[in-house]
Structure 1
Amino acid sequence: MTLSLALPYPVYLDHIRIESRRFREVLATCDPDARVPACPDWTAADLLWHLAGVQWFWARTVRTRPAPPSESALEPERPATYDGLLAAFDEHSASLVAELEAAGPDAEAWHWAPVQTVGTSYRRQAHEALVHRLDAEQTARCVTPLDPALAADGVLELLDVMYGGDAPPWGRFDASGHAVRVDLVDRDASIWVRPGTLLGTDPETGTKHDGPHLQVVDDPGTDPSAVVAGTAADLDAWLWNRRDVTGVTVSGDPAAYDAFRAAVSQPLD
């Protein structure tokens, strides 16, 4: 597994600042009613409020750590005007950075992901801001490049956390016989995954799972069943369904690629 793609925590924090600033800059002059290409039910105003809400939620979660979020907590009311939305975003974004910086990455904190530390939010919120910055730029038709190092870690996070990971205690992962190698051609790095199926029922929600899943694995020392290759930025945007397959190449067993694609085709906002 290519763990060297992870970034130092202060770099994640810098990226939250940088990507959030660019997100705000782009949307400040965008038509509030412009549609977001990757989320066509959203307008630019909806996108602005979405990231404001996400950053508010995680600022509060870090502030009240290590307790899980309270279902009774009052969420902020959506402002009625676009200027109000911009002001709310400024407030919640600044609060997120301040809470993360004050807590430090090693502090215990609730997270839906397996690693229950503030550092998980450092990483997750850097990628959240990056992806929605791309959404903002696509909405305003002024796309700029993604940072290659952050995008490379974004590919790893997508495969290892967002679309995959270890099976929870109540479930089991049935791996297929396929080993797929994902090559980040501009970073001289590869991530190996095994697609398969996650089976089980979540006892807390009663939700039954019987669908595609994958796990990041060590290099098995054998030839891959299929290879998916591209730059880190192209792969990150494609896996987030923010870009088509242009710039990504696929080779090898079509069945292996189909199993991989099934696992990474779940919708993400």
Structure 2
Amino acid sequence: MTDYHSQIETEAARLAALAGDLSVPVPTCPGWTIAELITHVGQTHRWTVHMLRNRVQERVWSRQVPSGLAEGRSGDAAWLAAGAAELLEVLRETDPSMEVWTWGPDKRASWWPRRMLFELVVHRVDAELALGVDPEIPAGTAIDGIEEFLHNLPSAAWVTKSLTELGVEGATIHLHASDADGEWTITQGTAGKIEWARGHAKGDVAVQGPVSELLLLLYGRRSPDALTVHGDRALLERWLRAVDF
């Protein structure tokens, strides 16, 4: 079983260490600075704590949960670290089988640690890119991140609506890791839903590159220009815009 708790602890510490100059703009999150990035992540942690502690069964928006910040103030490294510590405490004490609301397909507490890890990974990368640091993601983490993304995607209503409007039912996208044992084929289904499978296959478009770069491509943090693309590049670019989280 993957130790998401330890990975969350590591990623939260890495992000907090980047929260020095909070005024630095974050190009991958247009309109945000590091301060707003930190505030978003810390508020997400506090929202998750609220959902799990209260066994919430219906959607509660993160902005409805108290942040502990004064009106108009942004979070900093210490505030982020405090929220991450509380999150880890709650994750560790919560029965993974407990029923709780999620926006994904799995309505149990076990959904949250994996989701919180990749929320941290992607936003840690955002901060690193803003500061001119070349991000590193272990191959195993990146593989899990790709599959977590694809697993949750059919439940993201804001994405399925965009995919429906593309009109590309039946189109296939193949991802091929060049530095790890990872290949996936995504098939666009009806009503904006997708299906995906591991393994080698031929797609309408294929993308090859390091597995960490494939993960960042899915999250809109890398351009297809940074990878090798074969086939219908226009399809890939339209699809990526539609699945933007």
TM-score category, normalised to shorter length: 0.7 to 0.9
Q: Which residue of 1 aligns with 2:145?
A: 154
Q: In structure 1, list runs of 5 or more residues that go unmatched.
A: 1-7, 199-212
Secondary structure, aligned partner of 2:40: helix
The percent identity for this pair of structures is 23
Equivalent residue, structure 2, for 1:18? 10
| Structure 2 residue aligned with 1:37 | 27
Bigger CA radius of gyration: 1
> How many angstroms apart in 1 are the aligned matches of 2:123 and 2:105?
23
Gaps of 5+ in 2: none
Q: Following TM superposition, by how much is the alpha carbon of 1:73 offset from its aligned partner in structure 2, in angstroms?
A: 5.2
Q: Superposition RMSD on alpha carbons, in Å?
A: 3.1
Partner of 1:195: 188
The Cα shift of 1:178 comes to 2.9
Q: Does 1:264 align with 2:206?
A: no
Q: Which residue of 2 aligns with 1:103?
A: 94
Q: Which has the higher contact order (CA 8 A, sep 6+)?
A: 1
Q: How many residues align?
A: 238
More helix by share: 2
Structure 1 residues 263, 244: CA separation in 2 closer, same or farther (over 3 Å shift)?
A: closer
| 1:58 equivalent in alignment to 2:48 | yes
Which residue among 207, 210, 214 is the counterpart of 1:228?
207
- How big is the shift at 1:264? 2.4
Judged with a 3 Å threshold, the aligned counterparts in structure 2 of structure 1 residues 88 and 190 are, in CA distance, closer, same or farther, namely same
Q: In the alignment, residue 249 of structure 1 is paired with which amino acid?
A: T
Counterpart of 1:240 (choices 219, 226, 231) is 219
- Which residue matches 1:119? 110
Q: Name which of structure 1's ranges 178-187 and 119-128 shifts more when overlaid on structure 2.
A: 178-187
Give yes or no for the alignment of 1:67 onto 2:57. yes
Contact 2:45 2:87 in 1 (8 A): yes
TM-score (norm 2): 0.83
Moved more, 59-68 or 175-184: 175-184
Residue 267 of structure 1 deviates from its aligned partner by 6.7
Aligned with residue 76 of structure 2, among 85, 90, 109: 85
